[in-house]
Amino acid sequence: MSTKEESRGTLSSTDFGVAASAFILNWNTICSSFPQWTWVLSHHQVEGYLSLENILLSSTQEEHGELSFPGPGKHSHQEDPIDVDDATLVHINPCKVHYYDLHIIYCNSYRVPVLYFRAYDNDGEPLECDEIEKDLPAYSKKALSDSKWTFITQEEHPYLNRPWYKLHPCGTSEWMKLLFHADDDALAKTGVAIELYLVAWLSVVGLVVGLRIPFEMMKQL
């Protein structure tokens, strides 16, 4: 990574690819019991992004009951009784479950990685921002409301063409600059900067979405 980029807290798209490979290796080794990150190629097969999907979160929220039935007249239709035999057990999950998908995608215009995420419930129905915020641990909520650098926006996913939530990247280079300059000499000499970019980045960004980086990974920074 060029020192110029480094000093601005940004990185090139090639460097992002390098950082991502190193990150996957790192994470999947150190955190083998955690869900694994994978590298997904976009349909152009040129660019790619990091993906961590189907993270299961048992929510403490109440069952929303009729969430699945929007609109009036939903109860007016009488369904014919369908055969159910004695050998069928119908079970309802006792706890409300939310699923999260995280993608780390490189942003060309800001030249930094961006965290995209979405959440959905059992039925696949997407969760709203305020419902997501209820799932977040207290320190994340604080980070979101206090910091002027972190806020969640909803924009179209660059590859999936559907709205995903993301942490807006406009402040990223600012605080990445601080992180990297915290220990100038060490990084400049080892040249390991690129590989550690994502760990450093995620250690901050992860806080906001309640994703903790295991200590073993942080030790390298």
Query: Active site includes 31?
Result: no
Phi, psi of 63 (to 5 degrees): -60, 135
Q: Minimum distance between the CB of residue 44 and another protein, rounded to whole angstroms?
A: 16
Nearer to another protein, 60 or 88 (CB): 88
Closest approach, Cβ 85 to another protein, in A, equals: 5
Q: Give the shortest CB-99-to-another protein separation in angstroms.
A: 8
Query: 19: closest CA among 37, 45, 32, 33?
Result: 37
In the bound state with another protein, the residue whose beta carbon lies nearer, of 67 and 178, is 67
- Contact positions vs another protein (CB under 8 A): 33, 56, 58, 68-71, 74, 77, 79-95, 97, 120, 122-126, 128, 148, 151, 153-156, 160-163, 168, 170
In the complex with another protein, the residue whose CB is nearer, 89 or 138, is: 89
* 66: amino acid identity, one letter: E
For another protein, the closer CB: 70 or 191: 70
Identify which of 166, 199, 153 has the alpha carbon closest to the alpha carbon of residue 180.
199
3-state secondary structure of 102: strand
Determine the Cα–Cα distance for residues 16 and 109; give it in Å rounded to an integer: 14
Write down the catalytic residue from 31, 107, 129, 170. Answer: 170
C-alpha 173/C-alpha 192 separation (Å) is: 18
Q: Looking at the DSSP assignment, which residues form a beta bridge with residue 152?
A: 167
The least CB distance from residue 79 to another protein, in Å, is 5
Active centre residues (catalytic):
170
